[in-house]
Amino acid sequence: MRTWPVDRVSFGGDYNPEQWPQELWPADVALMQEAGVNFATVGVFAWSWLEPEPGRFEMGWLDQVLDLLQEGDIAVDLATGTASPPPWFSHRYPDTLPVDVDGRTLWPGGRQAWCPSSPVFTEHALRLVEQLATRYHDHPALAMWHVSNEYACHNLPCYCDVSAAAFRTWLTARYHSIEALNKAWGTAFWSQRYSSFDEVLPPRRTPTIGNPTHALDFARFGSDTLLDQFTAERDLLHRLSPGVPVTTNFMTSDHFRLLDYHKWGSEQDVVSTDHYLMGALDDPEAELSFTADLTRGVAGGRPWLLIEHSTSAVNWQPVNVAKAPGQMLRNSLAHVARGADTLGFFQWRASRAGAEKFHSALLPHAGTDTRLWREVCELGAVSARLGEVVGSRVESQVAILWDYQAGWACEQPAHPSGELEYGQVAHDVHAALRALGVTADVVHPDDDLSAYRVVVVPTLYLCSDESAAAVAAAAERGAHVLVTYFSGIVDGNDHIRLGGYPGAFRDLLGVWSEEFLPLRPGRVVALDDDSTGTLWTEHLHADDATVVARYADGPLPGVAALTRRDVGAGAAWYLATRLDPAAMRNLMAELVEEAGATATADVPAGVEAVRRVGEGGSWLFLLNHTDEEVSVPATGYDLIAQHSVDGAARLGPGGSAVLRQA
């Protein structure tokens, strides 16, 4: 057993030797050494190779792989292989297959063809884990265990009868009585009142809109059920392989929200995630930065592992955009800047066959005489030079609140506007702060907010009394709090807070709304401060707040759109429309200045600046996302270019710098 490498930013990725002839394996290790790879995730989808028939285990090939990697001084993140059972499993146990909302079975042939609630799956998965942990717990290459892979990516939610029974058990534990469930779900509406837990089904396809609290609880159940699957494997590994950290790879990208990662984060020995640029976004790299900050929040501010990203194009988007020269390095540094101590990729060698054969890899189809391979080797060298950064933390004076359960509730049907999506304003705020050179932590509402000078509450539709009180306490202590539209509307059961919107935050903000008037797609409303808004307006009354801006036209001319109220040593702001990007930057600049927060660096447009701080010093990351050479006032030693910077860091088009400072 070895420890996870800490003398450098770890660099590597998924290694799938079972896809390749055995005689190629030594060449793989030699090329890994050439590229600077120092870790490999092995066995993620190897169950059918590890257990080709029920109860017959073949692990000699894995012995050889781990021995080769140990000889190459490459640490192993050993996967349990339980992400996808082999065909024999589904053939023998067809009741373990997942079922969609319309009752259609999802058959083998892809991956994750198993029901999250299946005890049969759990039994067989733990049997495989026991074999692996017993055999490899003291192997000198083993540095970390990797449970399953990307939980819920393909098999959640599952609506089968096994899931239905498990859901009823979960509900019984949550509510104890059917009367309590009826009250929480509001079943007096549409004659939905249950007389027994036995009558409850998953929220399958219904003639019209289903019960929103029913759907919300089913989402909670799904996340909890898969967390139970993870902890079952983790606990077995802790018992049979003590001292070796255990993780599973999250997917904290904004397009994936099926699991409550804040609840999962505390169950990890170390938090790891996957991230892939979404080519259809207007600014994919802004989403990357948001995701990295969210992952850091899930990790409780601690460093985390980027266990997968891509060297270039992926294979699963409508158009799979290749990365420009230098973009892989810049994207990787953006993750490190925001807390990652490991840079992993899918995968080591690009596959010849299968669904992901056009997914980029560290070693491309065209081989080593390629631009991509040369950039991979460059990144390996840079990763080695960043060792002094490992273990340090990211500085931030701003918090953006993010709650997966609020998102599940916010995106139920039959709401005021189908154009409103959870996360829209959170990303708007984060992008504005990023443009200002201000770093934000993306954290759960129940996290400690006492250290933040600015707290942003974006579309926190579902909000507990405790979370609302914590936000108010932050303002009393001196923070500037910004609450946006469609926040504080319902309690934890998705019941409306009566008395006027925004429910949980009325007293803090000194405002109340009597009606929402959302805007049609493409409609723009002018404000009297020369800014514009889209998506949302509301009939807002500022009873105990100063009106900062009003709607100048639209359905509510003259009505307040932005308000401010002094609260204790701080202030509470309310924003009742979705501002244009320039207006959002101006608003966030005003809040940051009034709150006494500071920018990381004075950066020109298109340059990202983030600072990590540790006992050994401070490191300023500068990333130029433009096609022009830029200059940033700064002094220090550039770990990438390996020279001193005195007064100004000059970044070429798409260039980056990591400056060691006092």
- Which residues carry out catalysis? 150, 308
> CB-side exposure of 577: number of CA atoms within 13 Å?
35
Cross-strand partners of 462: 490
Strands 393-394 and 607-614: antiparallel
Distance separating alpha carbons of residues 32 and 26, to the nearest angstrom? 10
Within 10 angstroms of residue 648's Cβ, the number of other Cβ atoms is 12
Relative orientation angle of helices 161-175 and 212-240, to the nearest 10 degrees: 90
Structure tokens at 64: 């050889």
Closest alpha carbon to 41 in 167, 124, 149: 149
Residues 6+ apart with CB under 8 A from 379: 11, 36, 328, 329, 332, 343
Closest alpha carbon to 220 in 210, 212, 209, 232: 212
Structure tokens at 232: 């079952």
Place of tokens 């692990």: 59
Q: 581: helix, coil or strand?
A: helix
Distance separating alpha carbons of residues 168 and 166, to the nearest angstrom? 5
Place of tokens 């929103």: 212
Distance separating alpha carbons of residues 646 and 662, to the nearest angstrom? 13
Query: Long-range contacts made by residues 61-64, C-beta under 8 angstroms, separation at least 24?
Result: 61/17, 61/18, 61/22, 62/136, 64/22, 64/25
Strands 630-638 and 643-651: antiparallel
Burial 299-315 (b: 16+ CB within 10 A, else e): bebebbbbbbbbbbbbe
Closest alpha carbon to 596 in 624, 632, 569, 564: 569
Q: Which helix (H) or strand (E) is 540 found in, with range? A: strand 538-541
Distance separating alpha carbons of residues 125 and 531, to the nearest angstrom? 56
Q: Tell me the longest C-alpha to C-alpha distance in the chain.
A: 77
Place of tokens 């060698």: 349
